[in-house]
Chain A
Amino acid sequence: MDPRIEETEVNAGREPSPDYEVALVSLNQWQLAWRRFRRHRLAMIGAGLFLAMLAIAAFGPILLPYDPTFVPAPDSLYCPGSTTALAYSGCPPFTPGHILGTTGSLRLDLLTLVVNGARVSLMIGLGASIFSAVIGTIVGGLAGYFGGLLDNVLMRIVDIMLSIPILFVIIICAQIFGNGDWKVILVVFAIFGWQGTARLVRSLFLTLRTEVFVDAARAVGVGDIRIIFRHILPNAVSPIIVSTTLSVAGVIIGEAFVSFIGYGVNPAITPTWGNELTAAQNFIAQGNWWWPLFPGLAIVLTVLGINFMGDGLRDALDPRSRE
């Protein structure tokens, strides 16, 4: 290889082109963003955490020996390997066979619960966020592009949703329609979660619709809907990705709380990180700190990962926004 050509990550492994001394590779904006994201240490840690959680959710339940709904027959009064710890109030972490300990009362394996809880918690977090991002983008896009009466009506609806404590409405709707079904809970979170995205997209569209390329598209006879989704939306996609990523964290925490107070996902059918904590509350007084600790820790690590990733995405996709 020509020694004058610096070995960089861009041209690594490429043969220098014969006509030029330096091989130039053009990168599109996504490749540039990925390069910035990769250099963001926290973002990579966050992405790692999040991917690890996804992997646990996908494969963990298959690999573990226990089933989350399987209730072991109480075989002794005391925890294995102990003569003092009562099995009824749960066995502490590092008990043989139960690395994270067991729950009180039913003596379920905590590791199994946490791993199985990951599935539905993440599914609701991701599903509801993507679903509400789609609604928010459509509403915000229509309002920002067309303006006028439509904008006024849609934005007043957003105002209403931002004034009402939305968690209260979610709790009521989850209780009325939910019946403990996680799919309904997902939809409830999606339906009441799009107002922020709608405002964001509208403000982006208000500036973008005055750009010359929109006039150009209109001049050659492109229809409104096509202009909105094919010409303007691609330019507004970065902030939408960032806000959707961060909203996954919010939904995971929200779902956990709604399920925790007993109006969300039914713990007897589908374990989630939130509903695993409901019964844990009653055993805290008996010194069982590990039962409430581990499902919550799973939430914190996931949310931390998502927040790191969201900040990294913001820096990578929109370098100007860096403080």
Chain B
Amino acid sequence: MLKYTIRRSLQAVPVLFGITIVCFMLMHLQPGNPADRFAQNPKITQAQIDAFKHRWGLDDPLPVQYCTWLGVCGDAGVLNALPGGQLNVAGLSIGLPGGNNGVLHGDFGYSIFDGQPVTDIIANRALPTIILAGTAYVIWITIAFLAGVYAAVKRYGKFDSILTIFNYIGYSLPTFWLGLMLIAFLSVPPLKIFPASGMWDARSVPIFGTGDYWVYVGAHPIDALVDLARHLALPVLTLVLVSVAGDSRFIRSSMLDALNQDYVKTARAKGLPERRVIFRHALRNALLPVITNVGLEIPFLFSGAIATETIFSWPGMGRQFVESVGHNDYTVLMGILLITSVIVVFANLLADIMYAVVDPRVKYD
């Protein structure tokens, strides 16, 4: 078991490095480089630009730049001497990807667009995404589970056919278009029920995540919750409608598999009540693939809500990503890409190890 865990963890290492290489390459595919912004500035001489490039290693060969970006090689002492990894050239403060410590040390540098540390930006955007995707996830898993199990038990019944039709349609809906439709019909007169965008009502609630916001939440907890729930309604509905389709289908087929097993027939032959056969014998065994599969959706919650967040202007990671693409803000893009990918790798690792713990039939080799 320990051997399996170690071996499986070691396998993740090349994948993690591959991810950093992909991110680094994407960053270099972006047109231009950080020194280009001086081209339009007559106060800056070529010598200063060269000095800037040299200081930040932009004249190094690519592998060296990658290594420095990671934070493995390079003279950290020189870079750390600069306050916040920033260099002043003719009054311009400049942040660079990799910051002054390198991404391996959790330093993703500074946003090219607004100069904020990338880690701060991501931290600010992570909570709204977790609130949105987490709420939707709990709701859709509950619905998918109940619907999937019920449809499998009453196979070919009326409910099963309705669910099948719903699944086909739900599976074929583009998330962003469903969001547009919900806005067009539920947040525009005559049926103006829910707000179309944002996470809070700007007229009565301070900006989310600021100190004022938490003071407001402390003072009016009910109002804050109602406001949040009203803004959550449509994006959550969008995510739930689209995601229930795939998951309930999976849960139904996994329950059907379990119901067809010999031990279920044995249990029935023994004369056990149907209730007990379904819940004790079939359901418990059907849960195993469901839990791993459903669990593996969790890491994708961070990136999977991108369409929903874009449509509903939800201030999460997905929306930040789309905005940053527009700003050519590649330090932020790489930060988001790296963090979401690394979460997926670790979640996969955890799932594999957990699966081996839960299911003794899994072979370790």
Please list the residues of chain A having a beta carbon within 8 angstroms of any beta carbon in chain B: 156-157, 159-160, 163-165, 167-169, 171-173, 175-177, 249, 253, 256-257, 260-263, 277, 280-281, 284-285, 287, 289, 292-293, 296, 299-300, 303-304, 307-308, 323
Could you say which residues of chain B place their CB within 8 Å of the CB of A293? 181, 184
Nearest to A167 among chain B residues (CB) is B306
Per-residue A-contact encoding for B1-45, CB less than 8 Å = 1, 0 else: 000000000000011001100100010011100000000000000
Alpha-carbon distance between A29 and B54 when the two chains are bound, in angstroms: 66
Q: How far is the CB of B356 from chain A (nearest CB, A)?
A: 18
Q: Chain A contacts of B29 at CB under 8 A? A: 172-173, 176-177
In Å, the complex CA distance between A69 and B330 comes to 34
Interchain CB contact under 8 A, A287 and B188? yes
Q: Which residues of B contact A296 (CB under 8 A)?
A: 174, 177, 180-181
Interface residues of B in 301-350 (CB under 8 A from A): 303-304, 306-307, 310-311, 321-322, 325-326, 333, 336-337, 340-341, 344-345, 348
Residues of A within 8 Å of B340, CB to CB, are 164-165, 168
A-B contact count (CB 8 A): 118
Most buried by A among B183, B196, B337, B341: B341
6 contacts between A and B (CB under 8 A): A159-B15, A163-B19, A177-B29, A256-B176, A287-B188, A293-B181
**In the assembled complex, which residues on chain B have CB atoms less than 8 Å from the CB atom of A300?**
169, 172-174, 177
- Please report the C-alpha to C-alpha distance between residue A163 and residue B13 in the assembled complex, in whole angstroms: 13
B310 proximity list for chain A (CB < 8 A): 261
- B344: contacting residue among A163, A172, A280, CB under 8 A: A163
Q: In the complex, which residue of chain B has the Cβ closest to the Cβ of A300?
A: B172
In the bound complex, CA of A160 to CA of B168 (Å): 30
State in angstroms the CA–CA spacing of A239 and B35 once bound together: 50
User: A297 — nearest CB in chain B belongs to which residue?
Assistant: B177
Contact B180 A169 (CB under 8 A): no
Decide yes or no: A323 and B337 within 8 Å by CB, A169-B22, A261-B322, A293-B181 being known contacts.
no
List the A side residues contacting B188 at CB < 8 Å: 284-285, 287, 289
B18 adjacent to A263 (CB under 8 Å): no
Residue of B nearest to A175 (CB): B325
CA distance A209 to B306 in the complex (A): 41
Residue in A172, A257, A261, A281 whose CB lies within 8 Å of B26: A172
Report the minimal beta-carbon distance from B251 to chain A, rounded to whole angstroms: 13
- Known interface pairs A165-B300, A165-B340, A172-B26. Does A307 touch B325 (Cβ–Cβ under 8 Å)? no
CA A293 – CA B185 in complex, angstroms?
Answer: 11
Q: Check A292/B180 contact, CB under 8 A, given A163-B348, A263-B325.
A: yes
List, in ascending order, chain A residues with CB within 8 A of B239's CB. none
Are A284 and B183 closer than 8 Å at their CB atoms?
A: yes
> B159-170, CB under 8 A of A: which get 1 and which 0?
000000000110
Nearest chain A residue, comparing its CB with the CB of B306 = A167
Cα distance, A299 to B30, chains bound together (Å):
31
A167 touching B172 by the CB < 8 A rule? no
Q: How many residues of B contact A (CB 8 A)?
A: 47
B171 contacts chain A at the CB level, 8 A cutoff = yes
Q: Are B348 and A256 in contact (CB under 8 A)?
A: no
Give Cα distance in the complex from A308 to B180, angstroms: 25
With contacts A257-B307, A307-B172 taken as known, whether A164 is within 8 angstroms of B19 at the C-beta atoms is yes
**Looking across the interface, which residue of chain A has its beta carbon closest to that of B324?**
A172
Secondary structure call for the A interface: helix
By the criterion CB–CB under 8 Å, are B172 and A249 in contact? yes
Asked if B14 contacts A292 (CB within 8 A), the reply is no
Q: A160-B15, A172-B333, A284-B180 are in contact. Are A256 and B26 (CB under 8 A)?
A: no
Residue of B14, B31, B180 touching A176 (CB-CB under 8 A): B31
| B19 and A289 form a contact (CB under 8 A) | no
The CA-CA distance from A163 to B304 in the complex, in Å, is: 13
How many Å lie between the Cα of A175 and that of B329 in the bound state? 12
Within 8 A of A (CB), among B344-362: 344-345, 348
Chain A residue at minimum C-beta to C-beta distance from B334 = A172
Bound-state Cα–Cα, A133 to B297, Å: 25
Q: Mark B225-251, 1 if CB is under 8 A from A, else 0.
A: 000000000000000000000000000
Chain B residues whose CB sits within 8 angstroms of the CB of A176 once the complex forms = 29-31
Does B119 sit within 8 A of A, measured CB to CB? no
Contact A257 B180, CB 8 Å, known A164-B22, A165-B303: no
Closest Cβ–Cβ distance, residue A250 to chain B (whole Å): 10
- Determine whether the beta carbon of B341 is less than 8 Å from that of A164: yes
A168, A277, A280, A292 pick with most chain B CB within 10 angstroms: A168
A263 contacts across to B, CB distance below 8 A: 325
Assess the B174–A256 pair: CB atoms within 8 A: yes
Task: Flag if A160 contacts B22 (CB, 8 Å).
Answer: yes
Q: In the complex the two chains form, is A167's CB within 8 Å of B19's CB?
A: no
Question: Which residue in chain A gives the minimum CB-CB distance to B252?
Answer: A323
User: 7 tightest CB-CB pairs across the interface, nearest first?
Assistant: A165-B303, A296-B177, A160-B18, A303-B172, A289-B184, A304-B172, A164-B341
Chain A residues in 8 Å Cβ range of B196: 284-285
Q: Residue B61 at the A interface, CB < 8 A?
A: no
The yes or no answer to B256 lying at the interface (CB within 8 A) is yes
A304, B168: Cβ atoms closer than 8 Å: yes
| Contact, CB under 8 Å: A156 / B15 | yes
